[in-house]
Amino acid sequence: MKVAVIGGGIIGLCSAYYLKKAGHDVLVFDQSSLEDGCSIGNAGMVVPSHIIPLAAPGMVAKGIRWMFDSQSPFYVRPRFDFDLLRWGLEFYRHANPRHVARSIPALKELSLLSKACYQQLVREVPFDFAYHERGLLMLYQTQRAAHEEAETADIANRHGVKAEVLSAREVQALEPNVRINVRGGVFYPGDAHLTPSLLMRGLREHLQQLGVRLMTSTEVRGFVLHHDHARSVCTAAGDHPVDSIVLAAGSWSGAVARQLHLRLPMQAGKGYGFTLPDVKENVRIPSILLEARVAVTPMGSSLRFGGTLEITGIDHTIHLNRVRGIVQAIPRYYPEMSVSMPKKEDIWHGLRPCSPDGLPYLGRLERVPNVIVATGHAMMGLSLAPGTGKLVAELVENEKPSMNLSMFAADRFTR
């Protein structure tokens, strides 16, 4: 079949990879040049440990408290926006223990499937993307964070995801080259990390060698619908007849979905990051600095820092105070690490697609059955990408998916 993938981020490219493996003629549309975006500058973490959705008890209270601090990890820009209001109400409605309990098995299964796909990709693609399985450290300095993370570790262990609660001395023993100032931490040995730019560049080049066409700087303006099927993708350069469509347009997916008469609640969650080159005494294990919500990932001799979640709509404004919050957190945890405020041109930012219940959208549309939605992965896009791509290909092939996708139904908010 001829399959159009709308979106050239990591979800779109992984979908294209598995579709091409299945023998389809694949065309990828993206409004950008694919040289930047969420999939390039993220923290590069593959985290099966992250089985609790963003919409969880306590997140609403934390969000309200953080909103009044310009350097906090979370911010919602106040504005009169009906879509934001509905998104916020749905988030509030889902931030409860029952939703978390129902979500954990599905997120765990998708995460483990995706990690297995990464392990297979390492063996079968002709490029290196610096994939390492060294685990993840969740580092904390306060008793409150220690208590919360111990509860999270207990939940993980009860669901078969190994988590080890460590003392400050045990944390330091795992990082002999860098002094760490913490009360303790939780170690998830099953997690991994990679270098996103290597993965994205390698995938783009490999897909083109396989015959996948990448239509960059090409905005999708609509669809030709006939008998409840999308028959063509419409762009400024003309219409492209297709048999199936994969909607993987990240934070722009909601706008594209409206052209298919689908309400897909989505808000863009802006994140910031910067990378230190040539770090002599580098961190070995990726970490999350819990109180500051800062991600730290070694990438070769470089060290990447990332954080914050700004719900501000499709907005590319860089708020330096948010970045300053990341910079100021670093020496609190790594007291011998001197980090200066990066130049504005060296600050990366990306818009992460956030659903209101903290779960991805992944499945076939009931109203337009030849359209498959694969988006809304928030901060987990890179981690869940190959598993998502494999499932997309199975759906296009009308095979039984490798896992139950009912929790991720694409039209769950329109029923």
Residue 335 tokens read as: 């007291």
Residue 97 burial by Cβ neighbours in a 10 Å radius (0-12, 13-18, 19+): exposed
Does any domain span residue 73? Answer: yes
Predicted TM-score of the model (pTM)? 0.96
231 sits in which H/E element: strand 229-235
pLDDT at 237: 86
Q: Are 291 and 325 in contact (CB under 8 A)?
A: no
CA distance 274 to 341: 10
CA distance 7 to 25: 16
Does any domain span residue 414? Answer: no
Average pLDDT of the residues of the chain:
94
Residue 410 tokens read as: 């694409």
Does any domain span residue 262? Answer: yes
The model's pLDDT over 267-321, given as tens digits with 9 standing for 90+, comes to: 999 999 999 999 999 999 999 999 999 999 999 999 999 998 888 888 898 989 9
* Closest residue by Cα to residue 144 from 58, 16, 240: 58
Distances (CA, A) of 346 to 106, 253, 302, 304, 350: 37, 28, 14, 12, 13
Does any domain span residue 289? Answer: yes
| Number of separate domains in the chain | 1
* Closest residue by Cα to residue 50 from 136, 130, 120: 136
* Closest residue by Cα to residue 226 from 370, 363, 364, 366: 370
pLDDT at 342: 96
Q: Are 25 and 1 in contact (CB under 8 A)?
A: yes
Which residues form the domain of 131? 2-408
Q: Are 290 and 139 in contact (CB under 8 A)?
A: yes
User: Which residues, given as ranges, of the chain have pLDDT below 50?
Assistant: none
Strands 348-354 and 267-276: antiparallel
- CATH at residue 249: 3.50.50.60
pLDDT at 68: 65
pLDDT at 70: 65
Does any domain span residue 305? Answer: yes
Does any domain span residue 285? Answer: yes
Does any domain span residue 390? Answer: yes
In DSSP terms, 297 is beta-bridged to 304
Q: Work out the number of other CB atoms within 10 angstroms of the CB of residue 4.
A: 26
Does any domain span residue 415? Answer: no
- Please, what sign has the CA dihedral across residues 203, 393, 253, 41? negative
